[in-house]
Amino acid sequence: MYGAIADQTQTNPGDGHVISVRGAVVDVRFGGTLPPINDALSVRWDNAAPLILEVQSHLDPCTLRAVGFQSTAGLARGVRVTPTGGPVRVPVGPAVLGRLLDMVGDLRDDGPPLPVDTPRRSIHAAPPALRDQTRTTSVFETGIKIIDLLTPMAQGGKAAMFGGAGVGKTVLVMELIRAMVEGYDGISVFAGVGERSREGHELLTEMQASGVLDRTVLVYGQMNEPPGARWRVPMTALTISEYFRDTRHQNVLLLMDNVFRFVQAGAEVSSLLGRLPSRVGYQPTLATEVAALQERIASVAGSSVTAIQAVYVPADDFTDPAVTTISSHMDCVIVLSRSQAAEGFYPAIDPLASSSMLLDPQVVGDDHYNTAEAVRRVLARFRELGDIISLLGIEELGQTDRLIVVRARRLQRFLTQPFMVTEAFTGLPGARVTLADTLSGCRAILDGAADDWDESALYMVGTLADAQAKNAKAAATEKVSA
C-alpha cells in the first residue's frame, strides 16, 4: 500500500495522502509545500461525492491537520488528497435565490443544477475597513409591538435574541422572517446552524406557501452533520450576503438560528484538534471566532446587512462565556424569559432585561422614548411590588401603587401578540402592528383608558382598537347571559 502511495506522490508531486483519521479530523502528509491555513483539500475516495477538508494547522514541515465538512466514515489511510488552491468557494448571486444549500455550496433541495456561469466566492474574507463602513440610525420596523417599542432594531445593525430551551426563539425568528420579507424589498439569507431536519423542512414549506422563497437563500448545516460543517455554515451565509451587498448593492436581511451552535461546533473542532480548553470548556479562540463572524456584518456604501440572530442560553445562565462574548457585538439585545413564557406572555420577551442602542431620543424621537421609558417604569415598579402582592394581597397597597398594578397588568397583556406562523396551533389570526399604533395604545393604557376593561380583552390582540372591540363583545355576551 505504501508503495502505491509513493507512486501517487511521484506522479502528482502536489498531492498528499491521509496518514490518520480521528473522527472529523484528518492528518495529511505532503511531499512538498503545505497548503496554507483555511485552504480546502479534496479527497477522491469510494463515495460518489468528494470529501472536502479545511486546513487548520501545520504539524511539521510535511504534515498538516484538517477538519472534514462531511462524514469521514470509511476513509482509509493512504487515500490521495488534492489541494484546491484556495479556501472553499460557494455559489453566490441571483441564481441561488429560492434555493437550499449546504455549507460547501451544494444544492440540497432536489431542484435543477445552478448555471455553469454562477459566480463563486471564498467563505473567508476580511471585514470591511472602518473607513468604508457606514453607520445608520434608521429603525428597522418589525411589526412586533414589544420589539418596536422597547428594543428597536437598526437597519444595518446586529440584533440577538437570547433564551434557554423552549422559550420561543425559533418561533420568533420565523415570525420575523415572515413579517419582514413580506414588507421588505431586499434579499433575505437564512443560516440554519445545527438545525433539526424538522425545523428546516417546516421553514422551507412555510416560505414556499407564503411566496417569499424567491427572494430568500437558505443555508443549512444540520444537527446530524460533522462539527466542521456546522462551524462554517454562518460563513457561507455571510459570503452570499456580502455579494448582494457589495456587488449588487442590495440590502440584505441575515437571519441565523442558532449562533450558540456555531460556538458549540467550534468547541468540538477545537477539542478534536487537541487544543487545551478555556473557561467552562470552551475553545481558547472563542472571542476570535465570534469576532471574525460578527465584524463582517456591516453596512458599506449605502447597502447594509441587517443581522437577527437567535442565541441559545445553556441552562438559562446569562453569564455563560459564549453568551457574554456574543452579546458584546450586538446593537440590540432581546432577552427571552422563562417566567414570561410560563405565564403565557408571548413573545416571552423580558421588557426590563432587553435593551437597544437605538432607544435614544435623538434617534427614535422624544415621543417614542418617553413612552418606552414610562412603560418600563410601570413594569419595573410592578415587579418590585410582586413579593408584597403575593404575601399580603393587592388590597394592602396604596392607591398609587394599586393603579400602577392595574395598568402594568394591562400593559403586559397588550404587549403580547398572535403570530402568523402559529395560526395553525392557536387558532388566532396573526397580527402586525405599526409603531404608531403601538405607541398610541401604550399611551392610552398609561393614561387610564383601559382601567375599566377586562384584562383578557388586551391579551393576544393587535391594536388597542382590536382590544376595545374584544372588550365590547365580551361585555355584550355577559349582559345577554345575565
Task: List, in order, residues 6 or more apart from 481 with CB less than 8 Å away.
Answer: none
d(CA 244, CA 41): 27
How crowded is residue 426: how many other Cβ atoms within 10 Å of its Cβ? Answer: 12
Active site residue 195: yes
What's the rounded Cα separation, in Å, for the pair 35 and 46? 24
Q: Quickly tell me which residue has 397588550 as its cell.
A: 414
Cβ-contact 135, 300 below 8 angstroms: no
Catalytic residue among 141, 175, 195, 289: 195
- Smallest CA-to-CA distance from 274 within 77, 23, 31 is with 23
What are the distances in angstroms from CA 359 to CA 98, 157, 265, 463? 35, 13, 34, 22
R_g (Cα) of the chain, nearest Å: 26
Q: What gap in Å lies between CA 402 and CA 409, rounded to an integer?
A: 11
Please identify which of the residues 169, 178, 407, 413 carries the catalytic annotation.
169
Give φ, ψ of 293 to 5 degrees.
Answer: -80, -50
Phi and psi dihedrals of 405, rounded to 5? -60, -45
**Residues 9, 14, 20, 23, CA torsion sign:** negative
| 31 neighbors 62 (Cβ within 8 angstroms) | yes
Write down the residue that cell numbers 456561469 correspond to.
117
69 contacts 53 by C-beta, under 8 angstroms:
yes
Range list of H helices, 317-432: 321-327, 338-342, 361-364, 366-384, 386-392, 399-414, 423-426
Amino acid type, 18: V
- Tell me which residue of 184, 157, 185 sits closest to 363, measured CA to CA: 157
Rounded-to-integer distance, Cα 417 and Cα 437, Å: 13
Q: Is 206 a catalytic residue?
A: no
Q: Quickly count: other Cβ atoms within 10 Å of residue 217's Cβ.
A: 25
- The three-point CA angle 417-183-139 to 5° equals 75
Q: Are 109 and 97 in contact (CB under 8 A)?
A: no
Is 250 in contact with 303 (CB distance < 8 Å)? yes
Asked if 407 is an active-site residue, the reply is: no
Is the sign of the CA dihedral 33, 35, 37, 43 positive or negative? negative
Annotated catalytic residue, options 22, 135, 196, 279: 196
Residues labelled as active-site residues: 169, 195-196
